[in-house]
Structure 1
């Protein structure tokens, strides 16, 4: 019998039923919906219908994550997208880190997406590419909770499976190759200092997507998990402006 792990408190998926405009919200690699809940609640307070899936293998135990592939993570997001499609006339997507990678993937596959909001999105992380070569190591140290604000913790795994790193590297490579397929309005938030995803990722995304409407917004006072950091209110404000305009 494979081990069964319970979903951690705070890592559950969340849904808010609102108007006919939907926002699909994605957390990042080894993280949980906890990192995105403040944004999701703000979008719901603005009247939107919100869905934030728990990516398969996340929010339980890192050994659970080790058994999943990036196709499983895409499937989790697509299930959320279908839930919104049943309730909404137009859908936006907002993602942190690998959630941003998944947002790019969705924009590549679903041209009807109205717009995407990327927060420290990942398409190339050299440290991760190096880690894929580790042959006799199953788990390495955690990458979560890169937050500048004092006394704030991200609910994320305390270890990272090397096999899962191979999966995210595969996802990033695929998404990067197809950046020119992204044509919807795109809002790109990037922290000046990020200890997980090099900030140049956002520059590459900005240059290579084919969207007519695209902007980069620097975050001066946050590290990687900006959704829980000092710029949280600013991200919410600018994202609501973006959705309202497009």
Structure 2
């Protein structure tokens, strides 16, 4: 198996700050580039931030093809472990499959103070057919669903069929355990999303057990909202969310 270098801009990032830690996770076929604006803003506010590069991502799609959903879980679990060594309080946010992993972590770690899933994926009907397919080996890219002109997501230009089968398993796993999520949740949902249907966010809202939960609708962004017109909305509202929860 060929060894691929990490693409420039796709490296994991770690910012040491105060004793409040925030894990930020990118999505399926994407890279840390999609979450870095949030990581930078959170660190500027004083927080400790960990942005993991999910295994098989940020290199080459043939590299991703060799990974499983458990590898992606392990990548964020490593981030949580790193933050726990340094921080008293932990929040988690993620985009797309990063939002799926955010929900997974909340299901497994009730001590997490709050979560912010952004266009989180728990059911993508367009991928359902992949479960029974054996070919083609690669499909067209799903990255860069961005409304803002001139902005590109650093993501793969092909999507491995094997990886699609893996995210389907991950989404089913997380969807089945949504009721185990009890921490406060701030859910961001793009009104027009060409990758993850907005109904995913509605379903999450209705099926998690959190007492404090709300959806913020983003009218001017497509799927990769963290790089789109509503980026400032995500940053402003999430910083407010952190502060509100910390004051309790």
> Is structure 2 residue 47 aligned with structure 1 residue 86?
no
1:215 alignment counterpart: 214
3-state SS in 2 of match to 1:227: helix
CA drift at 1:134: 2.2
Q: 2:135·2:161 contact (CA, 8 Å) conserved in 1?
A: no
Q: Is 1:227 aligned with 2:226?
A: yes
Is residue 2:123 matched to residue 1:124?
Answer: yes
CA distance in 1, matches of 2:99, 2:72: 12
Per the normalisation by structure 1, the TM-score is: 0.99
Between the aligned partners of 1:133 and 1:116, the Cα distance in structure 2 is 33
> How far apart, in 2, do the equivalents of 1:133 and 1:194 lie?
25
Specify the alignment match of 2:242 in structure 1.
243
SS of alignment partner, residue 151 of structure 1: coil
Aligned structure 1 segments of 4 or more residues deviating by more than 2 angstroms: 131-134
SS of residue in 1 equivalent to 2:215: strand
Aligned counterparts of 2:135 and 2:118: Cα–Cα separation in 1: 33
In structure 2, distance between residues paired with 1:158 and 1:134: 20
User: Which whole-Å CA distance do the structure 1 matches of 2:203 and 2:225 have between them?
Assistant: 19
Alignment of 1:47-66 (within 5 A): 47-66=46-65
Partner Cα distance (2:133, 2:88) in 1: 46
Aligned to 1:117, the other structure's residue is in SS state strand
Could you give the per-residue CA deviations for residues 132-189 of structure 1, whole angstroms, max 9, x where no partner exists? 3322210000000000000000000000000000000000000000000000000000
Count, aligned residues: 245
1:14 aligns with 2:3: no
**Matching of residues 1-246 of structure 1 within 5 Å:** 2-246=1-245
Verify the 8 A CA contact 1:192 1:219 in the aligned structure 2: yes
Deviation sequence 1:10-62 (CA, Å, 0-9, x none): 00000000000000000000000000000000000000000000000000000
Cα distance in 2 for partners of 1:211, 1:187 equals 10
- Partners of 2:135 and 2:88 in 1: how far apart? 49
Whole-Å separation in 2 of the counterparts to 1:89 and 1:72: 26
Gaps of 5+ in 1: none
Q: TM-score, normalised by structure 2?
A: 0.98
Could you tell me whether the CA contact under 8 Å between 1:22 and 1:50 is conserved in 2? Answer: yes
What secondary structure does 1:86 align onto? helix
Measure, in 1, the Cα distance between the counterparts of 2:3 and 2:64. 12
**Counterpart contact for 2:21–2:87, Cα < 8 Å:** yes
CA distance in 1, matches of 2:176, 2:84: 27
The answer as to whether partners of 1:132 and 1:163 remain within 8 angstroms in 2 is no
